[in-house]
Structure 1
Amino acid sequence: MIHVACAIIEKDQQILICQRSASQKLPLKWEFPGGKQELNETLEQCLIREVKEEINLDILIHQSLSKVEYHYPDFSLTLYPYICSIKSGELKNLEHEQILWVNPTDLFRYDWANADLPIIEEYLRTKR
């Protein structure tokens, strides 16, 4: 089981979403920025590190959402989502196909990795 932390980064009533590169697993699927937890690293430390590595932002973590366990045909993961904001940094796309700021009501218009779908549903419920 792979443990992955992901950031739902809010700014000006929008959410940052990332499209996986064509060379990654789940090519061109949309996801929230984040990545795999390393040994002796908390999920929060993992998230802060991964967001910095992927999109060059320093974030503040505000709230966790429910974890999601998902089994793809060739791997399984537990996804730990956190609602975050930007502390500092200039947004840079360092590894994704593209990154976009979108209105939360438009999230389901994108082709998401399946593990992210329950996270979007819970996030939208918390924002009503």
Structure 2
Amino acid sequence: MKKKIEVACAIIEREGRVLAAQRAESMSLPLKWEFPGGKIEPLEDARDCLHRELREELGVGVHIHAALPPSDWSYADFAITLHPFVCTLGEGSIHLAEHKAIRWVSPEEMPSLDWAAADGPVLENYFRYLKQGQAGA
């Protein structure tokens, strides 16, 4: 049976762009792009995990505005459930503790990045979320 991990991730918006983080060469899925976040600890709430992980990985706090549907993905050696949250930056300034690079990208640019496969369904749900927001505007 595959190892299953639960991960909280942040879709951080700023001025019409979204923060994408590139995994370091030493990480699994090296150099793939992802939404920053991390593993949910036992008995930890996904929102609490997100706040903790973003302070550890990027040195920032965030304001969570919406939760998107969780998405499941199965890699060859493990399965993952991503719990994505749409956020804006709070306190702190970004510094990279684990990632190789970050980029602020427009939604139109997002498909051109080499994303980790598990982030594909998250991107689809985010684009649906954006369309619903525009329809309600």
TM-score bracket for this pair, using the shorter chain length: over 0.9
The equivalent of 1:5 in structure 2 is 8
Q: Could you list the runs of 4 or more consecutive aligned residues of structure 1 that deviate by over 3 angstroms after TM superposition?
A: none
Shift of 1:40: 2.1
Q: From 92, 95, 99, give the equivalent of 2:102.
A: 99
Q: From 59, 65, 69, give the equivalent of 2:68.
A: 65
Determine which structure has the larger strand proportion and give its number: 1
User: What RMSD in Å do the two structures reach over aligned CA positions?
Assistant: 0.8
Identity of aligned residues (%): 45
Number of residue pairs matched? 128
The equivalent of 1:28 in structure 2 is 31
Distance 1:8 1:34 in 2: 9
Q: Which TM-score applies when normalising by structure 1? A: 0.97
Which structure is larger by alpha-carbon Rg, 1 or 2? 2
Query: Secondary structure at the residue paired with 1:114?
Result: coil
Gaps of 5+ in 1: none
Q: From 73, 78, 89, give the equivalent of 1:75.
A: 78
Distance 1:89 1:100 in 2: 17
